């Protein structure tokens, strides 16, 4: 991680941008079975003034598409002549999973966001993560790794994935606050997440989860664009003041709601609702439409996520409640 206060040409892998210029191209990360190069699209924007570097990536999981629309809009709005420092964007990180329209790579059945910082002699996903991490991401002072809840509906939130004792915890939590989406999930992440790996080399990183849907969701995309612009404004990359909510809710755990009977789910609560103990969350009806059971909230919290389909088997998840720990301003 470094900062260049004297504008100079910016070199990231095969891409070069002089001050006031941008460049786009591809980073070779492997080969396909027929020998065709496997390449990741990369864009670099080099401002006219010196400063820090923000790294922005999307589609680490191949079915999480909202992030790429955010990247596209940021690249439309952020021009080199209005930028202090540098911006790096990787629109599609998990190319193989993207083409397969699924979260995991069809080559090694791994989630890319469990592979960072990667291995040069590992599986396909680990090798891609290694090449990206060591060739591109190490240039950054801040990282934003755009995600969503796959195709499963969930609220728009941002995640901090290092624990409270980590040297970068305060910086990561501040980055999440400035993203300004209103809800923060603060819990150490699984090993191999970028938001867990990049702070190990002193790069504050967050993991926004922009809803969950098939295809694109305009509201979640708009929140993601505003969040990235908030970061660019607050940390001095571009002019302007961030648009932050008056209050943001921090949660550090989820309570999972399970059905006892198979059937069809009729929800009594909506995502984002604050729920109280014993409040009805959903009713399970049998195939004839007769009620079989009512699922109630076990404790106070926020209705955070639910499955995409309205039918469940016994013992299947029908939703999750986020348990708030504090509010921040």
Return the CATH number at 239. 3.40.630.10
Triad 158, 212, 200: Cα angle to 5°: 35
Q: Mean of the per-residue pLDDT values for the chain?
A: 96
Kindly report the CATH number assigned to the domain that includes residue 318. 2.40.50.100
User: What mean pLDDT is predicted for residues 133-160?
Assistant: 97
Q: Which of 191, 220, 245 is the last residue of a domain?
A: 245
Where in the sequence is the domain holding 21, given as residue range(s)? 10-245
Query: Same domain, yes or no, for 127 and 32?
Result: yes
Q: Residue 224: how many CA atoms within 13 Å on its side-chain side?
A: 33
Q: How many domains does the chain have?
A: 2
Query: Are 248 and 329 contacting, i.e. CB atoms less than 8 angstroms apart?
Result: yes
In-domain check, residue 4: no
Q: What's residue 7's pLDDT? A: 57
Q: What's residue 204's pLDDT? A: 98
Predicted confidence band at 4 (pLDDT cuts at 50, 70, 90)? very low
pLDDT tens-digit series, residues 199-258: 999 999 999 999 999 999 999 999 999 999 999 999 999 999 999 999 999 999 999 999
In-domain check, residue 5: no
In-domain check, residue 200: yes
Query: Same domain, yes or no, for 174 and 313?
Result: no
| Percentage of the residues of the chain whose pLDDT score is greater than 70 | 98
Query: Same domain, yes or no, for 32 and 145?
Result: yes
Query: Same domain, yes or no, for 268 and 226?
Result: no
Q: What's residue 6's pLDDT? A: 47
In-domain check, residue 191: yes
Residue 256, token pair as written in the block: 């999972």
- Taking alpha carbons only, the member of 87, 21, 19 closest to residue 56 is 87
- Taking alpha carbons only, the member of 223, 195, 258, 217 closest to residue 55 is 195
Query: Same domain, yes or no, for 35 and 157?
Result: yes
DSSP conformational letter for 4? B
pTM of this prediction? 0.95
Triad 195, 196, 200: Cα angle to 5°: 110
For 279, left (φ over 0), alpha (ψ -120 to 50), or beta? Answer: beta
Residue 170 has pLDDT above 80, yes or no: yes
Query: Same domain, yes or no, for 219 and 70?
Result: yes
In-domain check, residue 3: no
Q: What's residue 88's pLDDT? A: 98
Residue 3 has pLDDT above 60, yes or no: no
Residue 2 has pLDDT above 60, yes or no: no
- If residue 292 lies in a helix (H) or strand (E), which one and from where to where? strand 291-296
Q: What's residue 294's pLDDT? A: 98
Query: Same domain, yes or no, for 59 and 131?
Result: yes
In-domain check, residue 226: yes
Chain centroid, CA 194 distance in Å? 10
Predicted confidence band at 112 (pLDDT cuts at 50, 70, 90)? very high
- Taking alpha carbons only, the member of 99, 195, 193, 213 closest to residue 151 is 213
Predicted confidence band at 80 (pLDDT cuts at 50, 70, 90)? very high
User: What mean pLDDT is predicted for residues 56-67?
Assistant: 97
Residue 101, token pair as written in the block: 């329209």
Triad 212, 213, 215: Cα angle to 5°: 130
Query: Same domain, yes or no, for 257 and 241?
Result: no
Q: Which of 245, 264, 292 is the last residue of a domain?
A: 245
Predicted confidence band at 8 (pLDDT cuts at 50, 70, 90)? confident
Predicted confidence band at 1 (pLDDT cuts at 50, 70, 90)? very low
In-domain check, residue 133: yes
- Taking alpha carbons only, the member of 306, 259, 301, 309 closest to residue 284 is 259
Query: Same domain, yes or no, for 134 and 280?
Result: no
In-domain check, residue 158: yes
pLDDT tens-digit series, residues 277-292: 999 999 999 999 999 9
Query: Same domain, yes or no, for 205 and 57?
Result: yes
Query: Same domain, yes or no, for 91 and 214?
Result: yes
Query: Same domain, yes or no, for 230 and 290?
Result: no
Q: Which of 218, 245, 272 is the last residue of a domain?
A: 245
pLDDT tens-digit series, residues 13-30: 999 999 999 999 999 999
């Amino acid at each position: 991680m470094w900062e260049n206060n004297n504008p100079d040409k910016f070199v990231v892998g095969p891409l070069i941008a002089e001050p006031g210029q941008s460049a786009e191209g591809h980073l070779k990360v492997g080969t396909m079975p027929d020998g065709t190069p496997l390449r990741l699209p990369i864009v670099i924007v080099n401002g006219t003034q010196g400063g820090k570097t923000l790294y922005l990536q999307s589609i680490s999981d191949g079915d999480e598409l909202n992030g790429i629309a955010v990247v596209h809009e940021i690249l439309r709005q952020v021009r080199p002549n209005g930028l202090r420092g540098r911006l790096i964007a990787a629109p599609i990180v998990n190319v193989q999973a993207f083409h397969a329209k699924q979260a995991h790579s069809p080559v090694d059945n791994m989630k890319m966001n469990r592979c960072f910082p990667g291995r040069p002699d590992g599986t396909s996903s680990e090798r891609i993560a290694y090449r990206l991490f060591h060739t591109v991401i190490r240039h950054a002072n801040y990282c934003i790794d755009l995600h969503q809840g796959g195709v499963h509906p969930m609220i728009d939130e941002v995640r901090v994935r290092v624990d409270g004792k980590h040297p970068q915890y305060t910086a990561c939590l501040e980055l999440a606050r400035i993203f300004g989406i209103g809800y923060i999930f603060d819990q150490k992440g699984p090993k191999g997440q970028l938001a867990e790996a990049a702070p190990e080399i002193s790069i504050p990183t967050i993991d926004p989860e922009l809803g969950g849907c098939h295809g694109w969701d305009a509201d979640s995309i708009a929140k993601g664009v505003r969040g990235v612009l908030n970061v660019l404004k607050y940390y001095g990359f571009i002019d302007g003041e961030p648009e932050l909510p008056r209050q943001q809710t921090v949660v550090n755990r989820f309570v999972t709601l399970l059905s006892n009977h198979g059937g069809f789910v009729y929800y009594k609560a909506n995502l984002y609702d604050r729920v109280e103990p014993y409040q009805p969350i959903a009713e399970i009806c049998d195939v004839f439409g007769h009620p079989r059971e009512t699922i109630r909230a076990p404790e106070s919290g926020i209705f955070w996520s639910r499955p995409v389909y309205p039918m469940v088997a016994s013992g299947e998840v029908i939703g999750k409640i986020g348990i708030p720990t504090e509010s921040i301003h």
